[in-house]
Amino acid sequence: MIFDPVGGDVYDRSTKCVAFEGRIVIVGFTSGRIPQAATNHVLVKNYSVVGLHWGLYSRRAPELIAPAAEALRDLYESGKLKPLISAHVPLADAPNALAMVAGGKSTGKVILTI
């Protein structure tokens, strides 16, 4: 599974490495470019492209939010989900952390520590 909050060139590259019967989950377009899915490629490599509008769950299926959050927490605590963390930054340096993210200088989560 590929989780894509970026779109653009990242989506394009994801189609090249997605596994047979894999899935690309689209969650946003922070790159600014909305890619086009080549359905012939989806068919030939036998993968799926799925959109995930997480905020919509609060209106359409709020009862699913808590169980999903619990399942994600369980995966994280068991070590099966390993988010990429670029940096731990003291809360006092929050402006620098935001600049790091906005400037594309992070490759994963930037965690503010208290």
Domains of the chain: 2-82 (3.40.50.720), 83-114 (no CATH)
Instruction: Say yes or no to pLDDT of 71 above 90.
Output: yes
Q: Which residues, including other chains, have CB under 8 Å from residue 7's CB and lie 6 or more apart?
A: 26, 28, 29, 30, 31, 32, 33, 34, 35
**Prediction pTM value:** 0.71
Q: 35-69, pLDDT tens digit by residue? A: 999 999 999 999 999 999 989 999 999 999 999 99
Which pLDDT tens digit goes with each residue over 42-51?
999 999 999 9
- Using DSSP's 3-state secondary structure scheme, residue 92 falls into helix
Helices (H) and strands (E) in the chain, counts: 5, 5
Both structure tokens of 25: 């989950």
Cβ–Cβ under 8 Å, residues 23 and 46 = no
Q: How far is CA 22 from the centre of its chain?
A: 15
- Helix spans in 27-82 (H): 39-45, 57-60, 65-77
